[in-house]
Structures are given as C-alpha cells and as structure tokens.
Amino acid sequence: MNQTKRVKRDVSGWVVLNKPYDMTSTEAVGKVRWLFAAKKGGHAGTLDPLATGILPIALGEATKTVPQVQDGRKIYRFAVKWGEATATDDAEGKVVATSDIRPARGAVEAILSRFTGTIQQVPPAYSAIKVDGERAYDLARAGETVTLAAREITIEALRLLDHAEDRSSFEVECQKGTYVRSLARDIAEALGTRAHVIELHRAAVGPFTDAVAVTIAQLEAAAEGEARDALLKPITAGLVGVPEIRLDPQQAAAIRHGNPVLLTGATAPVMLEDAWASFKGAAIATGYVEAGQFHPRRVIL
C-alpha cells in the first residue's frame, strides 16, 4: 500500500528535549523534526549518547538563534567510578588503567577549588573536535593516537553531591567548551587515582532547564497539530539574557531588509557584541550594536 508523503511545515520554535539515554543528538533532532513535520531543525550543543538531559532543539527560524543558546551557561550532574580509567573517559570505553586508591570525601572536597575559574583542559580523545579535517573520535576508533591541545575553559562552580568508596557524584556549572569526561579524569589524576564518568545528566543549557523540558514520550502522546505545537517554546525563549533592542515600525522595516538602524533615546546602547531586535514582542533579527547602530547578522522571517 502506498503511503502519503508527509508534507513538511514552516514551523519555528524551541523544543527543550530531555534526551533519553543511548540516543545521539542527531537522532534526537531527526525524531523531533519528524514529529513536527518541520522543514528545518538543529540542536544547541551535542550531548553524548550515554548522557541524558537538556538538548535544546531549534526548528525553523529558531535555528538562527542557536549560537545565543549554545554560548549560554551549562549545568551538569555526573557520577564517577573511582579506580578505573577508560579509553573514552566514560562507561562506553574499555578500561585502560586502574588504581587501588579510593579518595576520602575530604580529599575530594579540598581539591575542587583547583578546577574552578578559568583553567586549561585537554579534551577527550573520543570527542568531535576536528584534527586535520577528521573527527578525533573517528581517528581514535581507527586505532590512531590522538593528541589534542589544552583549551581554556571556565567553570563557575563545582560541588560534591554524594560520596562513597567507589563512586562520587558532582554538579558543575560551566561555560561552553567544557568536557565533563575530561573534568572527571583530571580530578582523579589530581587525587593520585583514576576514574571515569558512569552517569551524566545535563540540567541546563542557557535559559533552558529540566523544569521546562519534555520527553519524546510526551511529544508522541500529544496530538499532532495544535496540541503538539503547544509544547514548542517561542524563538524569544532562547534569547533570554541577551540584550533586547525594541524597534519602531520604520526601524523594523529596515532591519527586515538587512539594513542597520540608528538607535535613539537616552538609554540607547552604543556598543554591544551580541543583541537581538524585536518588534511588538517578536524577534526579527540577531546582531550587534556599534557606534549606536544595530547591525543585523541574521534576519528572522
């Protein structure tokens, strides 16, 4: 029997997905796009297949605001197993080193300050970072030795949530580019032992948190159409925390044609590296302010 081809829609907004365990970020985007019959979609920051939690998925015009969400603060909760290092720094890889040392709670707490603030971190060999045009994880899986340079990252807070002899759990608030698997590896090495991540949950990305997340099951249970669309967050939800420039009708018309506009008024900003322009509450562009003018980078249709 021939099936009717599904008609793709120009639907725009954010799906704040609580990604399930053992699903890739690409698979999650594909599933959400299919459920909404969306023409276009993407995510704001890869989440490992073995991790759960917040995967913000942008549909339609919301894809133009992905950088603003992706650059936001992240919160992760993770558990490590002491005494074993793996090739991937998580439970997926084979054990490559062991240690009999099991750190005491006080020793773990005492060392956390070393890993807060702006620090240097070497990403895991099994990561999506490109080396000579190839993904590091592809090279590592092919048996090649992958050496990645240290990168500067910012960790705002790091807390020990629970501690036992063989495992501990933590919460970290960090900026873009932080690898939790590397953090666990480095904490263990600083304590003279080995460890790898056995549980990882992302609790927040930018303005999106567990409190507003939906599951695949919830999306599937909602009737296709208005009921499912009601689970979408507006494009502006991803721009919380980014300075907003409110435009009048003439300014909005100019911006929609890609032209800069002069901002007037006593409180008008003179310089902003990142901002978004709105008209009657709707986002119409992302951009920046220079010499008192708003310059659009991406116009939102």
The predicted structure's pLDDT at residue 1: 45
Tell me, what's the pLDDT at 43? 96
Same-domain status, 183 and 125: yes
**Is the same domain home to 92 and 161?**
yes
In a domain, 160, yes or no: yes
Q: Which residue in the list 48, 89, 90, 186 is annotated as catalytic? A: 48
Reduced 3-state DSSP string for the chain: CCCCCCCCECCCEEEEEEECCCCCHHHHHHHHHHHHCECCEEECCCCCCCCEEEEEEEEHHHHHHHHHHHCCCEEEEEEEEECEEECCCECCCCEEEECCCCCCHHHHHHHHHHHCEEEEECCCCCCCCEECCEEHHHHHHCCCCCCCCCEEEEEEEEEEEEECCCEEEEEEEECCCCCHHHHHHHHHHHCCCCEEEEEEEEEEECCEEHHHCECHHHHHHCCCCHHHHCCCECHHHHHCCCCEEECCHHHHHHHHCCCCEECCCCCCCCCEEEEEEEECCEEEEEEEEECCEEEEEEECC
Total-model pTM: 0.92
Same domain, 199 and 78: yes
Give me the number of domains the chain comprises.
3
Q: Is residue 5 part of a domain?
A: no
pLDDT of residue 4: 57
- Are 106 and 180 in the same domain? yes
Domain identity same for 132 and 229: no
Instruction: Say yes or no: 47 and 152 in one domain.
Output: no
In this structure, are 138 and 254 located in the same domain? Answer: no
Same domain, yes or no: 130 and 157: yes
C-beta separation of 122 from 150 below 8 A: yes
- Structural domain contains residue 1: no
* CATH code for the domain in which residue 219 is found: 3.30.2350.10
27 and 85 housed in the same domain: no
229 assigned to active site? no
Angle at CA of residue 151, ends 148 and 156, nearest 5°: 140
pLDDT in tens, the chain (301 residues): 454 577 899 999 999 999 999 999 999 999 999 999 999 999 999 998 999 999 999 999 999 999 999 999 999 999 999 999 999 999 999 999 999 999 999 999 999 999 999 999 998 887 778 877 878 778 878 777 777 889 999 999 999 999 999 999 999 999 999 999 999 999 999 999 999 999 999 999 999 999 999 999 999 999 998 999 999 999 999 999 999 999 999 999 999 999 999 999 889 999 999 999 999 999 999 999 999 999 999 999 9
Q: Which of 217, 238, 259 is the last residue of a domain?
A: 238
Asked whether residue 219 falls in the same domain as residue 268, the answer is no
pLDDT given for residue 204 in this prediction:
98
What torsion do the CA atoms of 216, 221, 222, 223 make, to the nearest 10 degrees? Answer: 130
φ, ψ for residue 160, nearest 5 deg = -85, 120
Give the pLDDT of residue 150: 92
Tell me, yes or no, whether 7 lies in a domain: no
Q: Looking at the domain assignment, is residue 2 inside a domain?
A: no
**Domain range spanning residue 263?**
242-299
Residue 290's CATH number: 2.30.130.10
Q: Report angle CA 182, 183, 184 to the nearest 5 degrees.
A: 90
In a domain, 4, yes or no: no
Question: Do 120 and 189 fall within a single domain?
Answer: yes
Same domain? 36 vs 136: no
